[in-house]
Structure 1
Amino acid sequence: MSGNVEERPERPSEVDGTAHLFRALGKIIKVLRKNAGLSQAELADIAHCSEDLVSSIERGVRIPQPDFLLRADPVLGAGGVLVAAVDDVREALAKARVRHPDWFRSFASAEAEAVALHYYAVQAVPGMLQTPAYASSLFERSRPMLDEATIEKRMADRISRQAIFDRWPVPTISFVLEAAVLLRPFGGAKVHREQLLRILDVAQRRTVELQILPQDGEEHPYLGSPFTLLTPKGRREVAYTEVYGHARLITDPEEVRQYSERYGILRSQALTKRESLDWIEKRLGER
C-alpha cells in the first residue's frame, strides 16, 4: 500500500495501458491548452476545478475525469478528441476498482468509498501521495525482481487510487509521516524533489491534513509497521496493516480502538500542518 509490498506477481496478460492512456491525455491537454492561449488557472476556472488539478493532469500524475474532458474539449478546440476518450477513461477507472491483487481488493474497494482515511507511514511515502516516478522506483528495486509489465501495472494501479482526492464530498483525509520517510531520496535527486513537491501540493489543500513526526522526539507511542484507519460509509472504523507482504484488514473493535488511540497520540506529537509545510519547503530549498 505504501512501499513496495503489493507482491503477488501479475501475469503480463493482466496488464493494460491505463498508465500510458493517462500520460498521453495529459500531454494532449497541455498542448491543446497552450494552443488555445489559456493558462492552467484559466482552464481550471472553465472546467470548474483547481489549478493544481490541471497541472497534475498535464503531468500524468492525476486522472482526467470524464466531466473534465467533456468541459475542456470545446474550450480547447479539441474537435471531439477529448470527448472520444471519455469511454476509454470510464472503462479504465472501472478496471482500476477491480484489478488490484485479491488480497488487496477488499481494502482498495473500501478505500475508494470511505468517508474517512488516516495514514501513518514509517518506511516510504504512502501510495496515495506517490508520484509515478517514485512508485516505479520502488517497484523496480523490489526483490525478487518484477518484470516491466508488472511494474507498469502496479504503478498504474497505485496512482489510480489517488482519484479519491477529486471526489465530492471529499472524505476526511489525514497523514502522519515519519520525517525519515521524506529524507530517503528513493529514485534519485530528481524523483525525490518531484515527490516532495507532490506532497506539498496535496498538503496545501484545505481538505487534507498532513503532519510530519520529527526525528528528535524523546517519546514514541508506536514503533511498528505503517497502518491505515478507514471508515467505510455507514460502517464502523477498521484498520489496515502490511508487514513483509502480508496484508491484514482489522475489524475487531478493541484492536481498531488501539490503532485509533496510537494515531491520536502520533498526531499530538507531530508538527502542525503549517509547521510540516514549512519543513517540506525548507527541504526543497536545501536541494
Structure 2
Amino acid sequence: MKAVRDVWDTRTGRAAKAKEEGPDLPGEWSAYGVLLQYLLKRAGLNQQQLGDVMGYSLEQVASVEQGRRPAKAAFTTAAERALEAGGVLEALQGEVDRAKLPRFFRNFALIEAEVVSRFDYEPLLVPGLLQTEAYARAVFAGHSPPLGEEIIDQHTEARLNRQKLLTRVPLAELSFIINEEALRDPVGSPEVMRAQWQRLLEVAALRNVEVQVMPAQRGFHPGKNGPFVVVETHEHKHLGYFESQGVGCVVSEPAEVSTFALRYGKLRSQALNVDESARLIERMLGET
C-alpha cells in the first residue's frame, strides 16, 4: 500500500499523469463495451435490435458499446436478460461504477468498499457517504474549473453508489464527526440543506452508524489540520486517507496511521455525543 501513497502524494507526478491521460475515457467502460459487442454478435443482434428489446435508443446502446458512456445498473440488468449473458456484464458493473469517481479517489474507493470499520472527520462539508443527491450535485456543480453536466451526473451517481456501505452485509462499523460550521454553511438552497439535515438524522439512527458534531467555537483541537479517514480492512489492516485540492493520499505506514487513530479518538471525546449531536441537528431543522 505504500506505493499508492507515493503515487498520490507527488504533485508533479500526478499532474503529469493527468496531462498524459488527457480526455481518455476509463478503460473499464471500454472493456464493458468490448464484452457487450461480443455478446451482441453471439446473439445475432445489432445495436438497434438490442435497444428495441431493452427499451433503449440506438444512441444509448452505441455509446455504451463504444465506451463513451458508462452502463448503469438498469442497463446491465436489461442487457443480461436480453443477451442471456450469464452474469458476465453484472460482474463488471462495480468496476464501471467505480470509474465514474474522480481519478484521485478510485484507489481508496476499492479499499473503502470492503472495510470492517471506517472513521471519518470532516470540517468543511457533509461527508460524501452521508450526502443527499441534491447536496452532492451542488458540491460538484461548484467545482473549479467547471465540470460538464454529464461529469456532474456521473460523479453524483458514483457518490450515491458508495453509500451502499452504510447498509452492506456484513455491516461495517461507521463513525462520522462533522464540524458544526460544515452543517450550517449553505450548500445549495435552504431546501437542500433541510433535506440534508434530515438525512443525517435518518442515517444516525442506523445501528452501525454514529454521527457526532464538533460544536462551533470549541477552540483548538486535532482536527484543525484538516479532514481524514481511518479504516480497518477485512484483513484487519489499518490505513489512513486524506485529500486536498483534488489530490488523495492513502497512508499505510503503521506509525502514521496510529497518529490518525489517536487524533480521531481525541476528536470523538471533544465532539458532542451521539444524542447531543442529534438534538443539535433537530434544533437546526426547527430554526428554518
**What's the TM-score, normalizing by structure 2?**
0.69
Evaluate the alpha carbon distance shift between residue 254 and residue 127 of structure 1 in structure 2; reply closer, same or farther with a 3 A threshold.
same
Q: Let me know the Cα RMSD of the aligned residues.
A: 2.7
**Residue matched to 1:155:** 156
Matches within 5 A, 1:98-109: 98-109=99-110
Structure 2 residue 287 is the aligned partner of structure 1 residue 286: yes
Structure 2 residue 72 is the aligned partner of structure 1 residue 18: yes
**Residue matched to 1:175:** 176
**Residue matched to 2:215:** 214
Equivalent residue letter for 1:189:
P
Give the secondary structure class of the aligned counterpart of 2:240. Answer: strand
TM-fit CA distance, 1:221: 2.2
Matches within 5 A, 1:8-157: 15-16=69-70, 18=72, 92-157=93-158
Contact 2:174 2:210 (8 Å CA) reproduced: yes
| Structure 2 segments unaligned to the other structure (5+ residues) | 1-14, 26-66, 82-86
Distance 1:225 1:10 in 2: 31
Contact 2:121 2:176 (8 Å CA) reproduced: yes
Equivalent residue letter for 1:16:
P
Give the secondary structure class of the aligned counterpart of 1:200. Answer: helix
Distance 1:212 1:132 in 2: 21
Cα deviation per residue 1:94-139 (whole Å; 9 max; x = unaligned)?
A: 5224543443222101100001101100111111001111111111
Give the secondary structure class of the aligned counterpart of 2:224. Answer: coil
Distance 2:71 2:284 in 1: 35
TM-fit CA distance, 1:198: 0.9
Larger Rg: 2
Structure 2 residue 198 is the aligned partner of structure 1 residue 189: no
Contact 2:70 2:97 (8 Å CA) reproduced: no
Contact 1:15 1:153 (8 Å CA) reproduced: no
Contact 2:123 2:223 (8 Å CA) reproduced: no
**Residue matched to 1:39:** none
Distance 1:168 1:10 in 2: 37
TM-fit CA distance, 1:272: 0.7
Give the fraction of aligned pairs with identical amino acids, expressed as a percent.
34
Distance 1:17 1:188 in 2: 31
Equivalent residue letter for 2:273:
T
**Residue matched to 1:271:** 272
Distance 1:90 1:96 in 2: 11
Contact 1:11 1:150 (8 Å CA) reproduced: no
Cα deviation per residue 1:125-156 (whole Å; 9 max; x = unaligned)?
A: 11100111111111111110111111111111
Contact 1:221 1:265 (8 Å CA) reproduced: yes
Contact 2:122 2:178 (8 Å CA) reproduced: yes
Give the secondary structure class of the aligned counterpart of 2:118. Answer: strand
Structure 2 residue 227 is the aligned partner of structure 1 residue 238: no
Contact 2:173 2:209 (8 Å CA) reproduced: yes
**What's the TM-score, normalizing by structure 1?**
0.69
Evaluate the alpha carbon distance shift between residue 285 and residue 196 of structure 1 in structure 2; reply closer, same or farther with a 3 A threshold.
same
Evaluate the alpha carbon distance shift between residue 181 and residue 250 of structure 1 in structure 2; reply closer, same or farther with a 3 A threshold.
same
Distance 2:236 2:160 in 1: 26
Equivalent residue letter for 1:187:
G
Give the secondary structure class of the aligned counterpart of 2:222. Answer: coil
| Structure 1 segments unaligned to the other structure (5+ residues) | 1-6, 23-65, 67-79, 81-85
Give the secondary structure class of the aligned counterpart of 1:176. Answer: strand
Distance 1:157 1:266 in 2: 29
Give the secondary structure class of the aligned counterpart of 2:153. Answer: helix
Distance 1:14 1:273 in 2: 45
Evaluate the alpha carbon distance shift between residue 191 and residue 255 of structure 1 in structure 2; reply closer, same or farther with a 3 A threshold.
same
